[in-house]
Amino acid sequence: MALNLDWKMGFEVELVAPRGSSRLQLADKVARSCGGTVSRFFHPQSEPSDTPDRPTFENLTLAFHVTGSTGEHIASFVDDLTLQADMNKRKAPLPGWYRIIADDGRILRLVMRHCDPDASHMELLGPLAELFGTSPQPHEGNMVRVVDDRGISVAIAAPLPGERERPCELVTAPIAADHEVVLTDLLGQAAELGFFIPTEGATHIHFDAERLCSARVIAKLVAVLEKFGDDLKRVVGVNANCVRLGSWPASLRELTSGAEFQALEWPDARAALAALKLSKYCDFNLLNIASRNTAKHTFEVRILPASLDALCILEAAELFQAILHWCCKNDADADAMPASFAALIGQLSLAGHAQEMWKERAFKSRFLDK
């Protein structure tokens, strides 16, 4: 089926390396295929904590950028802490794999700025310790600790247990053209190495947000996804095991449905969205737009299942692209909310065969009458 993709977008596909392999092996393979290079970097994440008054621990894990032969960014390969079921948590750490833990994300940003990801975990925190006028301290369990000048712990570098080298979120560079060629190549290389779909796996699509920077467009987007979000989850086959999904807060709908918000100029509308303190961990992520994230100025769709089939992912990308185009239309007919999911599909700028495909999938999911 021919696809019509005209929106710049990036893809995050959650995968798992087979036992005995790691995300580094996939990064190396992709680099060799394009005559590029691999570089290490620290990937920030957060995880729940059992420590009173500290709901999360911030941490950094090893990740890998692949740069093409002419210096262009190809993809990154990072850990994802939501992927747990397929790993042996009792497995001993492999040499050279570690994580850095702190209870303050600002400390880890200093690590990212001043420390060398190519250094061993026994040595890498030296520059951080210097900032506090101390030296790294060997600690039990082959860990290294940095304390401040009062002896209070600042950060710890520790071996990485539990096969955490195997989770691999494949993060593409933003793709403006040849989406199918690029994604098929990357996922094909993962499949050749035996990478597979994790139990909790998801695919996230980041759509460039430039065309969405309008209060009216955001209001339509919120309204259509609030009404048809469950329908969309069914037709794309959301993974029931996927975590960190969920609905928007009621305050978002209350804000964007009002005429006062819809009349705002974009800077004021964005500020109003930012005041809601939205979370990224929901079905559809507006946080990067609301927070004016210049590094990732995107609208993120988070409900797709993980897949090694590029066409399956791109068909869903085309559907959401069509919804975004519909939201950007500026005419009276487009402003009327369709009465049913079938009516919405009929209004989207999709080829006839694509419309029929989505209607058929909706029918098969038994929530839409043919």
Asked if residue 121 is part of any domain, the answer here is: no
Q: What is the pLDDT of residue 352?
A: 86
Asked if residue 267 is part of any domain, the answer here is: yes
Asked if residue 264 is part of any domain, the answer here is: yes
Count Cα atoms within 13 angstroms, Cβ side, for 346.
Answer: 9
Q: What is the pLDDT of residue 58?
A: 85
Asked if residue 200 is part of any domain, the answer here is: no
- The rounded distance, in Å, linking the Cα atoms of 199 and 90 is 18
- The separation between CA 26 and the C-alpha centre of its own chain, rounded to angstroms, equals 18
- The rounded distance, in Å, linking the Cα atoms of 82 and 68 is 29
Total number of domains constituting the chain: 1
* pTM: predicted TM-score of the whole model, two decimal places: 0.94
Is the CA virtual torsion 26, 4, 219, 271 positive or negative?
positive
Q: What is the pLDDT of residue 263?
A: 97
Q: Dihedral (C-alpha) 298, 296, 166, 306: value to the nearest 10 degrees? A: 10
Q: What is the pLDDT of residue 366?
A: 62
- The rounded distance, in Å, linking the Cα atoms of 264 and 266 is 6
pLDDT in tens, the chain (370 residues): 678 999 999 999 999 999 999 999 999 999 999 999 999 999 999 876 666 666 667 899 999 999 999 999 999 999 999 999 999 999 999 999 999 999 889 999 999 999 999 999 889 999 999 999 999 999 888 999 999 999 999 999 999 999 999 999 999 999 999 999 999 999 999 999 999 999 999 999 999 999 999 999 999 999 999 999 999 999 999 999 998 999 999 999 999 999 999 999 999 999 999 999 999 999 999 999 999 989 999 999 999 999 999 999 999 999 999 999 999 997 655 568 999 999 999 999 998 899 999 989 988 876 544 4
Asked if residue 68 is part of any domain, the answer here is: no
SS (H, E, C) the chain: CCCCCCCCEEEEEEEECCCCCCHHHHHHHHHHHHCCEEEEEEEEEEEECCCCCCCEEEEEEEEEEEECCCCCEEEEEECCCCCCCCCCCCCCCCCCCEEEEECCHHHHHHHHHHCCCCCCCCCCCHHHHHHCCCCCEEEHHHEEEEECCCCCEEEEEEECCCCCCCEEEEEECCECCCHHHHHHHHHHHHHHCCCECCCCCEEEEEEECHHHCCHHHHHHHHHHHHHHHHHHHHHHCCCCCCCCCCCCCHHHHHHHCCHHHHCCCHHHHHHHHHCCCCCCCCCEECHHHHCCCCCCCEEEEEEEECCCCHHHHHHHHHHHHHHHHHHHCCCHHHHCCCCCHHHHHHHCCCCHHHHHHHHHHHHHCCCCCC
Beta strand 153-159 with 143-147 is antiparallel
In terms of residue numbers, what domain contains 279? 214-364
Asked if residue 224 is part of any domain, the answer here is: yes
∠ CA(174), CA(111), CA(115), 5° rounding?
A: 95
CA nearest neighbour of 93 among 164, 17, 161? 161
Q: What is the pLDDT of residue 103?
A: 82
Asked if residue 94 is part of any domain, the answer here is: no
Residue position matching structure tokens 């005041």: 275
Alpha-carbon radius of gyration of the chain:
22
Asked if residue 38 is part of any domain, the answer here is: no
∠ CA(147), CA(150), CA(152), 5° rounding?
A: 45
Beta strand 153-159 with 98-102 is antiparallel
- The rounded distance, in Å, linking the Cα atoms of 256 and 273 is 9
- The rounded distance, in Å, linking the Cα atoms of 9 and 248 is 22
- The rounded distance, in Å, linking the Cα atoms of 184 and 165 is 24
